[in-house]
Amino acid sequence: MMLRRLSTLFLVFLALAFVASAPGCKKVQRLLPPKTIENPEAGTPEAIVQEAIKAAMTKDEAEGWKHFRSLLHSSELESPASEKNWRQMNFATFRRKVPLFLEDPSKPVYKMQYYEETADGMYKVFVINSKSDVPTPCGVKRDANNNDEWRIKMCSL
């Protein structure tokens, strides 16, 4: 009897895990515990977000910006005004807020609550923010000008 119950619970867990990973079941995915992103596979959206966090953690602001800029989608660098906005607004804010996204301020490890894929090809990673009940999005998109690699298109971190 106990073995049957455990088997049933295991099957229910597997079914929930499968449903949560299916693209159409984001509501279920949002109910699951956040996933710790420590050593993501190179070239994945999660790895790009981690690289952005590393850039924001860099003590030397100019070096950090150089790293962060290399992660931006080429469409975000088409005008001097856009680049200036990324540096002076987005990146500056991100540098101040980066500890809110980390478990340990000395390591670029973060927790992803969930992700969304949009119709226009953007992949949004929703990162746990210790000062908010709502996770913070960082959107990446493949960049034809950069070997079709993932690059940051929008980021509220």
Residue-wise pLDDT for 121-147, tens only, equals 999 999 999 999 999 999 999 999 999
What is the identity of the amino acid at 128?
I
SS3 115: strand
Q: What is the pTM of this model?
A: 0.81
> Can you read off the two tokens belonging to residue 69?
């800029």
Q: What is the DSSP string of 1-41?
A: -HHHHHHHHHHHHHHHHHHHHSTT-HHHHHHSPPEEESSPP
Helix residue ranges per DSSP H, 22-89: 26-31, 45-57, 61-71, 80-85
DSSP symbol at 123: E
Contact 74, 145 (CB under 8 A): yes
Please list, in sequence order, all residues whose beta carbon lies within 8 angstroms of the beta carbon of residue 64, skipping any fewer than 6 positions away: 55, 56, 57, 58, 91, 95
pLDDT tens for each residue of 12-41? 555 555 545 555 555 556 667 899 999 999
